[in-house]
Amino acid sequence: MEIYLDNAATTPVRSEVMTAMQPYFSKKYGNPSSMHRQGLLANAAISEAREKISKVLNCDSKEIIFTSGGTESVNLAIKGVAFAKGRGHIITQKTEHHAVLKTCEWLEKKGFAVTYLDVDEFGLVNPTDVKNAIRTDTILVTVMYANNELGTIQPISEIGKICKEKGVLFHTDACQAAGYLNLDVERLDVDLMTINGSKIYGPKGSGLLFVKQGTKIEPGLHGGGQEFGLRSGTENVPSIVGFASALELAQKEKASENENLSGLRGKLVFGLLKIPNARLNGHPTKRLPNNVNISFSGVEGESILLKLNELGIFASTGSACSAKDIKPSHVLLAIGLSHELAHGSIRFSLGRTTTKKDVAYVLKVLPKIISELRGMSPIE
């Protein structure tokens, strides 16, 4: 038995998406830049994908730059603006994904100034703080749409409005939001927006950057001039086709999907909070419908995770001990969680295949795991 509750990390590719991609590996394999029929077929597929996505984003198809995923799009947006301007000040906030934070830190070394705004106890950025942080030399504001660990949804359109008034470019990383929230770029008032495919049941290694017409950014990759000169390299046709299909489906189904997920999530949270000394992290309502982030005092997240793994339940942790990192989650520390509680955090991110039975099973086994680990823990 496998219960996959790590959909914020990545999702499986759904069958409709697989079917859409299939012809573009060995049948319609041309290089979209070629003038022969094979090339034209591939080129048409990309145009169609771009068209589909532009409808979802309510933008022009020329405003969509396909990339290899979220990290590349974020790098292209931030470095693209920074290099186009040459110098200046960037505003971001403390719970961003490392793709944003590490890029900003690197730009600081290159002479750019960066402000990292604080968030409140739920992980929310205050738009007034953004307004107050804008300086005469501010070139870019970058704030994520929804947080990957907490699911907290930021007031993007409010921040967008402020940036517009002040004449500052605004980028949002919408990777976690794309399957659940409205992506209308007009409504959100964004100049740049990052989305990827691997969180919305599309292929890994697919992504896009929306670049509003007239926004000057430097290319990320130089070469053959693909993607309007901003991202050279032969297009990954099957991936682009799959990504467009996934995004279209996710947006079409989001109302019913969100309702279903919120219901299951509610049951899971209700049950988990019955465990003594459990704390729900993140915002009670302004959060993605599939996200649960919970801390248990006196136990360590990796131990919980691996005990769950043994029972076929796959989750994730903000603990320092999660495999490759030794520091606890910067997101959990930013919302003011103690190190101990940050170490004892578990994230369950539900998905399309999650059932009531799955939730019931987690609630059946987790209390025992927590009490076992607490029993052998020398701290309270």
Partner 1 sequence: MKEKWFYSETVKEHFFNPKNVLKTETDVKAFEKKADAVGQVGSPVCGDVMKVWIVVKDGKIADCKWQTFGCASAIASTSIMSEMVKGMKLEDAMKIRPQDIVKKLGGLPEQKIHCSVLGDQALRAAIKNYQNEKAR
Q: What is the DSSP letter of 231?
A: B
The residue among 263 and 312 lying less far from partner 1, judged by its C-beta, is 312
- Least distance (Å) between residue 343 CB and partner 1: 4
Rounded CA-CA distance 191/168 in Å is: 9
- Least distance (Å) between residue 152 CB and partner 1: 24
Exposed/middle/buried for residue 34 (C-beta within 10 Å: 0-12, 13-18, 19+)? middle
The catalytic residue among 59, 104, 163, 321 is: 321
Distances in whole angstroms, Cα of residue 263 to Cα of each of 164, 204, 267: 37, 28, 7
The residue among 301 and 351 lying less far from partner 1, judged by its C-beta, is 301
3-state secondary structure of 65: strand
359: number of CA atoms within 13 Å, CB side?
Answer: 23
Rounded CA-CA distance 60/152 in Å is: 29
Cβ atoms of residues 281 and 333 within 8 Å: no
- Least distance (Å) between residue 316 CB and partner 1: 13
The residue among 1 and 326 lying less far from partner 1, judged by its C-beta, is 326
Distances in whole angstroms, Cα of residue 39 to Cα of each of 33, 44, 45, 224, 235: 6, 9, 10, 15, 11
Contact residues for partner 1, defined by CB under 8 A: 298-303, 306-307, 309-310, 319-321, 323-326, 328, 338-340, 343, 372, 375-379
251: Cβ contacts below 8 Å, ≥ 6 apart: 56, 183
Strands (E), 262-353: 278-280, 291-296, 313-314, 345-349
The residue among 306 and 360 lying less far from partner 1, judged by its C-beta, is 306
- Least distance (Å) between residue 103 CB and partner 1: 23
| Per-residue H/E/C for 239-284 | HHHHHHHHHHHHHHHHHHHHHHHHHHHHHHHHHHCCCCCEEECCCC
Rounded CA-CA distance 37/32 in Å is: 10
- Least distance (Å) between residue 276 CB and partner 1: 14
Neighbours of 71 (CB within 10 A): 20
What does DSSP say about strands 89-93 and 278-280: parallel, antiparallel, or unpaired? unpaired
Does the active-site annotation cover 175?
Answer: no
- Least distance (Å) between residue 14 CB and partner 1: 23
The residue among 33 and 338 lying less far from partner 1, judged by its C-beta, is 338
- Least distance (Å) between residue 302 CB and partner 1: 4
CA 130 vs. chain centroid, Å, equals 21
The residue among 128 and 309 lying less far from partner 1, judged by its C-beta, is 309
What sign for the dihedral angle of Cα 106, 107, 110, 112? negative
- Least distance (Å) between residue 211 CB and partner 1: 38
Structure tokens at 281: 């992290």
The residue among 32 and 344 lying less far from partner 1, judged by its C-beta, is 344
The residue among 287 and 343 lying less far from partner 1, judged by its C-beta, is 343
Catalytic site residues?
321
